[in-house]
Amino acid sequence: MTAASLCHSDFAAIFAENTPFPLKKNLIPGHEACGIVVEAGPEAQEKFGFAKGDRVGADAGANMCLKCDDCTEFGPQFCKTKDFRGFTSDGFFAEYALFDAATAVKIPGEGNMAEVAPILCAGITVWDALTRAGAPKLKKGDWVGIVGCGGLGMIRW
């Protein structure tokens, strides 16, 4: 692990506030992270193209079935059987962690991965909203309003 980040959802879980996730106790927190691949399993290599030494990032999703209608029609993030890192399975505040190749992404360049980790939660949330609103139709210079404070409202693209 190179960098992991906490957001409001993590604090809600830690302090037993209302959370949309079925929380298990005594888990390692953190559901957005970056790291360097030290070993990639056969499926991660063959199906998703990951290799030792890759810079990668991951969000909370893990253990999706990749076979249900939600996975195949809408994407693995909608799988009803998936785990949520830091909520239903161990998160990323550890020396080593497992990334799920179905939701991991390669991080290009040599930049500071600590700046990327928060984007893997708040950034994904904003990106998903934009794509659902028709972001492919947006052009450079178009205006979009993102209402909110914290990670979602303060992202600077």
Give residue-wise pLDDT tens across range 36-85. Answer: 999 999 999 999 999 999 999 988 888 999 899 998 988 887 899 988 88
Query: What is the pLDDT at residue 68?
Result: 94
Strand-pairing partners, residue 34, are 3, 57
* 51 and 109 assigned to the same domain: yes
Query: What is the pLDDT at residue 131?
Result: 74
* 137 and 83 assigned to the same domain: no
* 12 and 65 assigned to the same domain: yes
* 28 and 95 assigned to the same domain: yes
Q: Which tokens in the block code for residue 17? A: 């506030």
Q: How far is CA 109 from CA 50, 54, 55, in A?
A: 16, 10, 9
Q: How far is CA 97 from CA 24, 80, 92, 125, in A?
A: 18, 23, 6, 23
Residue pair 33/58 in contact by the 8 Å Cβ criterion: yes
* 107 and 128 assigned to the same domain: no
* 20 and 96 assigned to the same domain: yes
Q: Is the per-residue pLDDT at 126 higher than 80?
A: no
Query: What is the pLDDT at residue 77?
Result: 79
Q: Give the C-alpha separation, 115 to 106, whole Å.
A: 15
* 51 and 126 assigned to the same domain: no
What residues make up the domain containing 20?
3-113
Give residue-wise pLDDT tens across range 85-125. Answer: 888 888 898 999 988 888 888 998 888 888 887 778 777 77
Q: Is the per-residue pLDDT at 155 higher than 80?
A: no
Task: Count Cα atoms within 13 angstroms, Cβ side, for 15.
Answer: 6
Q: Give the C-alpha separation, 78 to 80, whole Å.
A: 6
pLDDT band at 150 (very low <50, low <70, confident <90, very high): low
Strand-pairing partners, residue 61, are 84
Query: What is the pLDDT at residue 156?
Result: 56
Give residue-wise pLDDT tens across range 11-31. Answer: 777 776 666 665 677 888 888
* 105 and 54 assigned to the same domain: yes
Of 73 and 153, more confident: 73
